[in-house]
Amino acid sequence: MEEHFGSSLVERVGDKVRLSEAGERAADVAERMEQELAALERGISGHDDRLSGRDELTTVDLLAQRYMPSFAEFKERYPGVEFLISTDVDVKSLSRREAQIALRLTNAPEDYLYGRVLERLEFHAYAANKFKPGVQLSCLPWLDYSSHPCASRAEDWMRRNAGGALASTFVGTPLMMLRAVQQGMGAGMLPAVIGEQEAGLRRLSDEPAFSLDVWLLAPRELRRTARVRALFECLIRL
């Protein structure tokens, strides 16, 4: 590329290499081209009426577990569709086609996405039964989320209701939180629909600490794609 443009795109500074001013401009243009190409692909595949191909869904582990019956129904009804379920800690981008569909815990999905709320999850503080009733919340060891929409909300609740307690253990996902609380590592925030079903856990608060909606989302360009519509229908019937 440097030979073609007759300009240096990268430069060495000490023991590091960085983009030159021309390189920065080239990278900006390349990123816009990538976004335009992804939009073109979404627009074309959005008119795909075949119940075949590949559906890629990104979510968190707890929602994958909760909605697995719907996933199973989808595969039973549409065996010709290849189905990939990703539960990475880092949320995959729908705009860059890292995935086509998302199940997300959020109260503010991006404007460019199409979707609907499947349910609302109310989060409460839970602890294992080994922590006796009546113990001061500020005396409990606390768990928090390391990188998740729950993290700042849990911290706010602890500041108001647990004497400003600070978490000393951090986990990446809701299912990891459930397992950590069950093992007695400390108190943490869990959806009531999950925490109330688990033996050996005790809810520490009558009022929810916070609530998050479960959104089923896809880029607007894909809302008419047959295999995307089919997965939406199976999940909405939960």
Average pLDDT of the residues in 205-231: 87
Tell me: do 34 and 84 sit in the same domain.
Answer: no
Which pLDDT belongs to residue 111? 84
Tell me: do 189 and 87 sit in the same domain.
Answer: yes
Which pLDDT belongs to residue 121? 94
Query: For 27-56, how does the pLDDT look when each residue is reduced to its tens digit (9 = 90+)?
Result: 888 888 887 776 666 565 544 455 677 888
3-state secondary structure of 237: coil
Tell me: do 118 and 27 sit in the same domain.
Answer: no
- Helices 226-236 and 68-77: crossing angle in degrees, nearest 10, is 140
Query: How far is residue 200's CA from residue 63's CA, in Å, rounded to a whole number?
Result: 21
3-state secondary structure of 111: coil
Q: Into how many domains does the chain fold?
A: 2
Average pLDDT of the residues in 66-95: 82
Tell me: do 193 and 170 sit in the same domain.
Answer: yes
Which pLDDT belongs to residue 228? 85
Kindly state the helix (H) or strand (E) to which residue 204 belongs, with its residue range: none
CATH number for the domain spanning 141: value is 3.40.190.290
- Using only C-alpha atoms, the chain has a radius of gyration, in whole angstroms, of 23
Q: What's the domain range around 28?
A: 2-44
Tell me: do 33 and 109 sit in the same domain.
Answer: no
Mean pLDDT of the chain: 85
Average pLDDT of the residues in 73-91: 83
Tell me: do 35 and 60 sit in the same domain.
Answer: no
Query: How far is residue 64's CA from residue 102's CA, in Å, rounded to a whole number?
Result: 11
- Could you tell me which residues come within 8 angstroms of residue 55 by beta carbon, excluding any fewer than 6 positions away? 81, 82, 83, 84, 100, 101, 227, 228, 231
Query: How far is residue 171's CA from residue 17's CA, in Å, rounded to a whole number?
Result: 35
Which pLDDT belongs to residue 183? 94
Structure tokens at 184: 């007695």
Tell me: do 34 and 80 sit in the same domain.
Answer: no
Query: For 90-127, how does the pLDDT look when each residue is reduced to its tens digit (9 = 90+)?
Result: 555 565 656 688 898 889 888 888 899 999 999 999 99
Tell me: do 106 and 215 sit in the same domain.
Answer: yes
Query: How far is residue 126's CA from residue 202's CA, in Å, rounded to a whole number?
Result: 6
Tell me: do 113 and 25 sit in the same domain.
Answer: no
Average pLDDT of the residues in 205-233: 87
For residue 59, the one-letter residue type is: T
